[in-house]
Amino acid sequence: MSENVLHVDHVTMQFGGVVAVNDLSLDVDQGEIVALIGPNGAGKTTAFNCITGVYEPTNGRVSFLGKPMVENHPQGKMKKLYSGEHAEDYPHIISPTPDKITQLGIARTFQNIRLFSALSVFDNVLIAKHMRARHNWFTSTFRISAKEEKRMREDATALLEEQNLLHLKDEVAGSLPYGIQRRLEIARALATNPKLLLLDEPAAGMNPQETQELTDFIKEIRDKYHLTVFMIEHHMDLVMQISDRIYVLDFGRLIASGTPAEIQSNQRVIDAYLGVSNDA
């Protein structure tokens, strides 16, 4: 029943001699909420960027809904610099731009909010509807595809209503309070009709109460839109409450994976977060 949504296979991201993500493999199944945690600088956001096409991984493959989506092996000068294994396992080169990946059905939010801050809340959501509309610049300019525009507007209105943001529709996105900007960013990501939602530290800068609200919110949208959620988060309350499974990264390497209970008692994870004393 649980269909595989995201399959990351031996992904390595190397910048020159620095290995930011080292041989990362993980799976996310349909309907799950999976968290990726780790100390600062562990390579979590880099891993997200490899999945969403912002970076082209040095080696490895990312499959989405069973189909290879990103694939690469060390080329050019990376051939010499590449220090990992599995270089021969991925003969193809597939490197779609981020917009292609969004079109396939992966939406994301950003660690530091990236709204179109000078535009209205409504426009922010409408822009996310742009790629799925059946129009081109000509029909759109001369209002030949006015029906499509109307449908986009209706969909955006409906989405804002569901997210309780409709009353802010004409506000300038950049002028909203921080918490609402976060919610709007998630709403905007939902407007692309994703199957998989990647959240990069959705609770950053939130107080405990807001974090609790966010926890419920993520579960709610998962059920409502039949989503799969893969997120990076530092708030352990949220992560432990909400996650079906957790992956732990440290220095680019996967050091543990399992249910929240398993992770909480994992000695390597505790060491990674607290540091290992030398005389132990």
Partner 1 sequence: MKNLENKRGTLITAAIIVAVFLFVGIAEKIAPPSWNMLFMVLKKGSIYALIAVSMNLLNGFTGLFSLGQAGFMLLGAYTYGIFTIPAADRASVYQYFDGGVVQFALPVPVALILAGLVAAAFAFLIGLPVLRLKSDYLAIATLGFAEIIRAVFQWNVLGPITNGSNLLRKFPVFQSTISYFIVVGICVAVILLLINSSYGRAFKSIREDEIAAEAMGINLARHKMLAFCISSFFAGIGGALLAMYQTSVQASIFKSAMTYEILLIVVIGGIGSISGSVLASFLYIACSEWWLRFLDQETILSAAGRGRFIAVMAVIFVILLALMVFRLVKPKAKSRVRYGVGAGICGAVLIWLIVFAATGQTKVPLLRNGFRMVVFSVIIMIIVLFFSRGIMGTSELPDLFRKRIKSEKEEVAS
- Which spans of this chain sit near partner 1 (rule: CB under 8 A)? 52, 54, 97-100, 102-103, 107-108, 110, 114-119, 123, 126-133, 135, 137, 140-143, 148-149, 152, 170, 188, 192
Nearer to partner 1 (CB atom), residue 156 or residue 203: 156
Q: Which is nearer to partner 1, 102 or 243 (CB)?
A: 102
d(CA 251, CA 201): 18
As a whole number of angstroms, the distance between CA 180 and CA 235 comes to 19
Residues 8, 13, 17, CA angle at the centre, nearest 5°?
155
Smallest separation, CB 183 to partner 1 (Å): 16
Measured from the CB atom, the residue of 139 and 212 that comes closer to partner 1 is 139
* Sign of CA pseudo-dihedral 271, 272, 273, 279: positive
Q: How far is the CB of 104 from partner 1 (least distance, A)?
A: 9
Give the count of alpha carbons within 13 A of 162, CB side only: 17
Q: How far is the CB of 270 from partner 1 (least distance, A)?
A: 34
Residue with tokens 């799950």: 32
**Cα 24 from Cα 11, distance rounded (Å):** 5
Nearest-approach distance from CB 123 to partner 1, in angstroms: 6
The nearest distance, CB 52 to partner 1, in angstroms, is 7
What minimum distance in Å lies between the beta carbon of 102 and partner 1? 4
Q: Closest separation between CB of residue 166 and partner 1, Å?
A: 14
What are the C-alpha distances in Å from 118 to residues 112, 163, 278? Answer: 16, 21, 52
Could you write out the DSSP letters of every residue in 108-120? E--SS----TTSB
Q: Which is nearer to partner 1, 170 or 279 (CB)?
A: 170
Query: Quick one: 23 or 149, whose CB is closer to partner 1?
Result: 149
| Nearer to partner 1 (CB atom), residue 189 or residue 238 | 189
83 or 141: CB nearest partner 1: 141
- Give the residue with the Cβ less far from partner 1, 168 or 269: 168
What separation, in Å, do the N-terminal and C-terminal C-alpha atoms of the chain show?
45
Judge whether 182 and 163 are in contact, CB under 8 Å. Answer: no
The whole-angstrom separation of Cα 176 and Cα 187 is: 14
Cα(90)–Cα(59) distance, integer angstroms: 7
Is 101 exposed, middle or buried, given 0-12, 13-18 or 19+ CB atoms closer than 10 A?
buried
Q: How far is the CB of 118 from partner 1 (least distance, A)?
A: 6
